Chain A
Amino acid sequence: MHNFAIFFASIFTGNILLTNYLGMCSFLSVSKELKTSLGLGAAVVFVMATTTPLNWMVYEWVLIPFGLEYLRFIVFIIVIAAFVQLTEMALERYSEGLYQALGIFLPLITVNCAILGASLFMVIREYTLSTSFFFGLGSGIGWALAIVAMAGIRQKLKNAKIPPGLEGPGLTLVIAGFMAMAFMGFSGMIALT
């Protein structure tokens, strides 16, 4: 039950992008086309749902017993980078179609702060293994939802007249602000703890 609450909370009330501002860089630069943002969104869901529990295992079973908690930043980023690299190689070898769809986005993901952020939140909020899986999955879906919605809005705005200084990042931030306000409507439904 708790896991499902966390799952939905991390999609809506505690959306990792709109309430914690994580993964903004790729959110601002890749949200021009609906198709590419769908691809990137799917890659983020997959990587986040797998690396968060993976990092949990490394943290609980290796770092804590040896008293090396302070090394978690380095270790987490290595785990994420290694996992992304492995996935890329596996996709390239076994699934041509999936590699075409997701492969180009995978290298971008290592530097996506939302992935590392999910792992760091998992440590701070002291989740269990299963909860961290649902949290990672939910956060990934929430991020994907936000970027796909943004890409849809930006495509509609393509022909609109915009003040030249506001074009690009400025307008994207304004839209993100409205989206964050819309998502605030969910707050109070479920708490993310």
Chain B
Amino acid sequence: MAKSKLRKTFLEPLGKNNPVFVQILGICSTLAVTNKVQNTVVMTLGVTFTTALSAWTISLMRNHIPSRIRMMVETMVIAAFVIIVDIVLKAYYPEMWKQLGPYVGLIITNCIIMGRVEAFALNNKPLPSLVDGFASGLGYTYVLLSIAVVRELLGSGSIWGIRILGSWWTNWSIMIMPPGGFFVLAIIIWVIRETIMKEESHA
């Protein structure tokens, strides 16, 4: 019983309740870092780490947080984890840290994390909260990766900085610029919503 519930908690954010294309949360970083696959991987690792651990921490403290200041406490906890990500990145990958710029710090205001903490971790035990946070992070990760692959492939003819398409390929430079991000995300949301609606009308 408990195990199947945990499984459900894990699977929901990956599909039916995906934070990016169903709940439309965390769009800022979704668009900003997806012009290169490499940046995206680092960013999603940071977000997954922060979401999972802050959900777990808040869940541990859930009976001791006064409800009037809970937003403040949640922000503090999230910010503490983001600072860890920032310091680690700065120490080991200074180049990457420079490229991501302010977006590492902006993980704090990423609505996915706050959303999971508010909606799930405050009312659930630590382990399910950890699983839920981690799964939300994964749901975010694979959507971002698919956007990044499309954008980098079309925009610079490469993936992970390695050239895939030959010299015949003319780069669609609009893809790595802001409008490309908006369009690719819009198309993904459109396709997924259209398929979900079809499934629902069949059922």
> Which residues of A line the B interface, CB within 8 A?
18-25, 28-29, 70-74, 77, 81, 111-113, 116-117, 120-121, 124, 163-166, 169-171, 173-174, 176-178, 180-181, 184
- Chain B nearest CB from A56 CB (Å) reads 15
A73: which of B29, B105, B197 is its contact (CB, 8 Å)?
Answer: B105
Interface string of B96-108 (1 = CB under 8 A from A): 0000011001101
Contact check, A180 vs B114: say whether CB atoms are below 8 A apart. no
Chain B residue numbers with a CB within 8 Å of A121 are: 101-102
Chain B residue numbers with a CB within 8 Å of A25 are: 24-28, 111
- A81 and B75 in contact, given A21-B181, A25-B28, A121-B102 (Cβ under 8 angstroms): yes
Chain B residue numbers with a CB within 8 Å of A166 are: 186, 189-190, 193
Distance, CA A77 to CA B77, complexed state (A): 12
- Output the nearest chain A residue to B31 by Cβ-Cβ distance: A21
Contact check, A178 vs B179: say whether CB atoms are below 8 A apart. yes
- Output the nearest chain B residue to A118 by Cβ-Cβ distance: B102
Contact check, A177 vs B186: say whether CB atoms are below 8 A apart. yes
Chain B residue numbers with a CB within 8 Å of A112 are: 109
Interface string of B103-122 (1 = CB under 8 A from A): 00110111100100000000
B60 within 8 Å of A (CB atoms): no
Contact check, B28 vs A116: say whether CB atoms are below 8 A apart. no
- A163 and B194 in contact, given A74-B76, A169-B24 (Cβ under 8 angstroms): yes
Chain A residue numbers with a CB within 8 Å of B76 are: 74
- Output the nearest chain A residue to B98 by Cβ-Cβ distance: A124
Contact check, B189 vs A24: say whether CB atoms are below 8 A apart. no
Interface size on B, as a range, is: 35 or more
A-side interface mostly: helix
Chain B residue numbers with a CB within 8 Å of A77 are: 75, 79, 108-109
Interface string of B186-203 (1 = CB under 8 A from A): 100111111001000000
B80 within 8 Å of A (CB atoms): yes
Chain B residue numbers with a CB within 8 Å of A22 are: 28, 32, 106
Chain B residue numbers with a CB within 8 Å of A73 are: 79, 82-83, 86, 105, 108
Interface residues of B in 154-202 (CB under 8 A from A): 174, 177-183, 185-186, 189-194, 197
Contact check, B24 vs A28: say whether CB atoms are below 8 A apart. yes
Contact check, B190 vs A163: say whether CB atoms are below 8 A apart. yes
B185: which of A124, A163, A173 is its contact (CB, 8 Å)?
Answer: A173
Chain B residue numbers with a CB within 8 Å of A23 are: 28
Interface residues of B in 11-68 (CB under 8 A from A): 24-29, 31-32
Chain B residue numbers with a CB within 8 Å of A113 are: 28, 106, 109-110
Contact check, A116 vs B106: say whether CB atoms are below 8 A apart. yes
Interface residues of B in 102-151 (CB under 8 A from A): 102, 105-106, 108-111, 114
- Chain B nearest CB from A73 CB (Å) reads 5
Contact check, A180 vs B194: say whether CB atoms are below 8 A apart. no
A116: which of B27, B108, B194 is its contact (CB, 8 Å)?
Answer: B108
24 contacts between A and B (CB under 8 A): A21-B29, A22-B28, A24-B31, A28-B24, A29-B24, A70-B83, A70-B87, A73-B79, A73-B105, A77-B108, A81-B72, A113-B28, A124-B102, A163-B194, A165-B193, A165-B194, A166-B186, A166-B190, A170-B190, A173-B183, A174-B182, A177-B180, A180-B179, A184-B178
Contact check, B83 vs A74: say whether CB atoms are below 8 A apart. yes
Distance, CA A158 to CA B87, complexed state (A): 47
Chain A residue numbers with a CB within 8 Å of B182 are: 173-174, 176-177, 180
- A116 and B178 in contact, given A74-B80, A81-B72 (Cβ under 8 angstroms): no
Distance, CA A171 to CA B183, complexed state (A): 10
Distance, CA A20 to CA B106, complexed state (A): 12
Chain B residue numbers with a CB within 8 Å of A81 are: 72, 75
